[in-house]
Amino acid sequence: MSVKSQQVWIFNPLRSLFPKHRLISTLSLLFSVGLGLSLILSACTSPSTSSVTSPSPSLTAKGTVVHIGYQKAATILSALKTRGDLEKALASSGASVEWTEFPAGPPMLEAMNAGSIDFGYTGEAPPIFAQAAGTPVRYVAYDPWSPKAEAIVVPKDSPIQKVADLEGKKLAFAKGSNTNYLAVKVLESSGLKLTDVEVVHLAPADARAAFEGRSIDAWAIWDPYLSVAEEKANARIIRDATGLAPNRGYYLAAQSFIEKNPDALKTVLAEVTKVSDWAKQNPTEVAKFLSPALGIDAVVLEKAEKRRDYGVLPLSEEVIKEQQRVADTFYNIKLIPTQIKVQESVWAGS
């Protein structure tokens, strides 16, 4: 699944909520770098999760340039770039594609806010922070990912056997990430709060070092770091996100791009879905594709890929409600400064 680290949507209210000299550092603190790594998407057959509608023959204006932001290990967009399928799909209308690589979601959404990126992908946290900052980036599709692809782990020989045993212990996770939400929900499931544990905010690489050095007692982490922890750091899962957190990812587009180039957007989503179909059927090939970019053994990555779900899906009412619950939780624990309504940032065509 995906890798993340520390970690927003075309208006300047960003500047009023986050002073200019603190914007980048604040966003970097809030999110984790990989929200979106190994995020492989494909179509589902359920009526409530049918694929995003494919476009009719392209009406994209000649000379249009579609600017796409991607992260190296965000599999679908990386694969789409490598294969050149989107360029071929847009060629008949005289449109082209420009790709820009980003190390994480926050700078990508900053670029989208500035008007230099039209389309991108992040995990569930960045669009919440972005909407709270007032920027009109829109959810255009979601990736079901998998609740089994994130979990709280402890060393195999740890005396901690269940969630309740975490009380008073050091629990590490990346602040503002999907596992920040997971930690809250897992603790709640056993009648605990974040204040009942000693929270340690660490990016994945630092958290792994702390975990192996026994300076933390438990670690909330997502795939592929979760698989790495199990295979290389003697980690044992005490609770995954099943029944507690959706662990989804989202495709996002700038409102201006949606308004000016709706057919180009539909073409992008259609091509993304085709790559997703390939990824769903070829987890071994996906792992081999990701391995050089992430520096993780393909065998470990394949384990992560096989336990995740796939899809490029329109946002259903239930998905929006669950994303709203994530947003409300972040507001309640004071990670965002104002309450938001996720529905207001969902593309009507989703």
Task: Name the CATH code of domain 13-145+248-339 (choices 1.10.3720.10, 3.40.50.720, 3.90.1170.30, 3.40.190.10).
Answer: 3.40.190.10
Alpha carbon separation from 79 to 199, 275, 281 (Å, rounded): 37, 7, 14
Among 343, 144, 135, 76, smallest CA distance to 253 is for 135
Give yes or no for residue 244 having a pLDDT over 80: yes
Same fold, 13-145+248-339 and 150-240: yes
Neighbours of 244 (CB within 10 A): 17
pLDDT at 4 over 70: no
pLDDT at 234 over 60: yes
For residue 59, the model assigns a pLDDT of 56
Does residue 262 surpass a pLDDT of 90? yes
For CA atoms 246, 251, 256, 259, give the dihedral sign: negative
pLDDT at 52: 56
Q: What average pLDDT does range 40-56 have in this prediction? A: 40
The dihedrals phi and psi of 174, each to the nearest 5 degrees, come to -80, 125
Which is it for strands 170-173 and 218-222: parallel, antiparallel or unpaired?
Answer: parallel
**pLDDT tens, position by position, 173-223:** 988 888 999 999 999 999 999 999 999 999 888 999 999 999 999 999 998
Mean pLDDT of 151-172: 98
- Higher-confidence residue of 60 and 340: namely 340
Query: What pLDDT score was predicted for residue 269?
Result: 96
pLDDT band at 50 (very low <50, low <70, confident <90, very high): very low
User: Pick the residue with more confidence: 108 or 153?
Assistant: 153
Per-residue model confidence as pLDDT tens digits over 75-134: 788 888 988 999 999 998 899 999 999 877 767 888 888 899 999 998 888 889 889 988
Q: In angstroms, rounded to a whole number, what is the distance separating the alpha carbons of residues 278 and 282?
A: 6
- In percent, the amount of the chain with pLDDT more than 90 equals 59
pLDDT at position 61 is 67
Q: How many CA atoms lie within 13 A of 249 on its CB side?
A: 34
Q: Looking at domain 150-240, does it have CATH number 3.40.190.10?
A: yes
Q: What distance in Å separates the CA atoms of residue 255 and residue 89, rounded to the nearest whole number?
A: 22
Sorted by where each begins, the domain ranges of the chain are: 13-145+248-339, 150-240
